[in-house]
């Protein structure tokens, strides 16, 4: 019978599974580790020399993958979420929103800030805002439109 890389790989799987469980001490993590190992072995099968010890080759690959994962996990902060994870005090949330709006508002030009303050915040009619700022209603509308666009873009980012 001819040599088959895949058949040899399948023959080694039970030992690899046990070794992965021993390394990770978690069945799900062991399954993921074994899958990564098998995928790596298949993608690198051209590097394996037939007639050598495939079990040792795969075991070394599995061990190295596990240690690489441990090293990577040291540099990654894992956060577990639960049902109440996003519960934030309403006052705290409103302070955060206010801070974001204030920052966005401060990026407007002074003329846009004046128009937004008069029309959107104080609720004055366009005509009154135009008279107060000594500009046309069209200018009030265009400044307000540009200011709203800018605020919407900043708040959406």
Indicate where the chain has its CATH 1.10.10.10 domain(s): 101-156
Q: Which tokens sit at 46?
A: 């051209």
Q: Which tokens sit at 91?
A: 């006052």
Fold of 101-156: Arc Repressor Mutant, subunit A (1.10.10)
Fold of 5-73: Rna Polymerase Sigma Factor; Chain: A (1.10.1740)
- Integer Cα distance of 146 and 25 in angstroms: 59
Rg (CA), the chain: 32
Alpha helices in the chain (DSSP H): 5-24, 27-43, 54-74, 90-106, 110-115, 126-133, 137-156
Which pTM value belongs to this model? 0.48
pLDDT at residue number 75: 74
Output the CA–CA distances (angstroms, integers) from residue 102 to 5, 90, 95, 97, in the order listed.
64, 18, 10, 8
- Integer Cα distance of 51 and 131 in angstroms: 92
Encode pLDDT of 55-75 as tens digits: 999 999 999 999 998 888 777
Indicate where the chain has its CATH 1.10.1740.10 domain(s): 5-73
Give me the percent of the chain exceeding a pLDDT of 70.
87
CB 115 within 8 A of CB 121: no
Which residue carries 């298949």 as its tokens? 42
Encode pLDDT of 99-130 as tens digits: 888 888 889 899 999 998 898 888 889 999 99
């Amino acid at each position: 019978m001819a040599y088959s890389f895949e058949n040899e790989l399948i023959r080694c799987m039970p030992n690899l599974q046990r070794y992965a469980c021993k390394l990770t001490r978690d069945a799900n993590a062991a399954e993921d580790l074994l899958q990564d190992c098998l995928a790596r072995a298949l993608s690198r099968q051209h590097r394996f020399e037939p007639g050598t010890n495939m079990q040792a080759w795969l075991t070394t690959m599995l061990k190295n993958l596990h240690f690489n994962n441990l090293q990577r996990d040291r540099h990654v902060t894992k956060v577990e979420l639960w049902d109440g994870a996003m519960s934030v005090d309403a006052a705290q949330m409103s302070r955060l929103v206010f801070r974001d709006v204030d920052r966005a508002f401060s990026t407007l030009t002074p003329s846009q800030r004046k128009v937004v303050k008069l029309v959107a915040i104080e609720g004055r009619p366009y005509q009154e805002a135009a008279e107060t700022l000594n500009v046309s209603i069209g200018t009030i509308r265009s400044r307000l439109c540009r200011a709203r666009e800018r605020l919407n873009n900043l708040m959406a980012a």
